[in-house]
Chain A
């Protein structure tokens, strides 16, 4: 459960006032993975950027980054997009044409049917 008292001003301080990520379409489910450069640069990073680079040694989604670090979703997106632009993390995004890919959808259906 996130801290209810988290300041509403703080998110915007973290991102220097920006509310739109560099890549404004970064999906909440996009997978974030720390790059070798990010791992090597970890000691020189500060605060949330450092936390994200440490956390994403295990690949996880933007939404998980937000939840784990108690950040607003919009803030997590901005920070991840910044780190990706700097090469500290690699972002794996969902395929753009997925909803029109019957083979992929059929595969998900088959796997889900097998869940018990």
Chain B
């Protein structure tokens, strides 16, 4: 149990997997993570719509939001974490924590509920984080043309838009590679 018996400590890096509820974030993380995705909860504080019954907390209420994550060992020195987060305005406080130091983000879209990913797209644009929009192909079909989705999301041509299947490991890998290539392009053009 000596710490010195440990292998080298890897450098942790992360990619954020965002999108509305039920779009396939956890499925995507499960498909490629080498560990069974873990779930943890973060407390978030929101304005209460009704007075707290106990009277102890006058105008705020604390609720929790689940965060699912997994990881991929890149090599002996690098470990890539994937954090799946529900993209909702009211979780803004947690997003700041999540985005800090992230390589980029994958925003998953369900074409039946495109609007659910608006907060994520808005947030990453404002935060200046490289991101890719990935349309999850439920049952292998697209219910809108890709150009229509791009229009609906009002994202510029600099934001890659890909289709993928969150259940398929290599499909998730390719979507993550698109994120990394976007990050790389940003890194090389910035210098």
Shortest beta-carbon distance from A23 to chain B in Å: 12
A12 to B103, CA, bound (A): 31
A57 to B64, CA, bound (A): 29
Q: Which of A25, A31, A61, A109 contacts B100 (CB 8 A)?
A: A25
Q: Which of A27, A58, A109, A113 contacts B184 (CB 8 A)?
A: A109
Contact B78 A105 (CB under 8 A): no
Contact A30 B177 (CB under 8 A): no
Residues of chain A within 8 A of B40, CB atoms compared: 2, 63, 66-67, 71-73, 76
Residues of chain B within 8 A of A39, CB atoms compared: 1-3
Shortest beta-carbon distance from A11 to chain B in Å: 6
Residues of chain A within 8 A of B190, CB atoms compared: 100
Contact B184 A102 (CB under 8 A): yes
Which residues of A does B touch, CB under 8 Å?
1-2, 8, 11, 25, 27-31, 33-36, 39, 57-59, 61, 63-64, 66-68, 71-74, 76, 90, 92-96, 98-102, 104-109, 111-113, 115-116
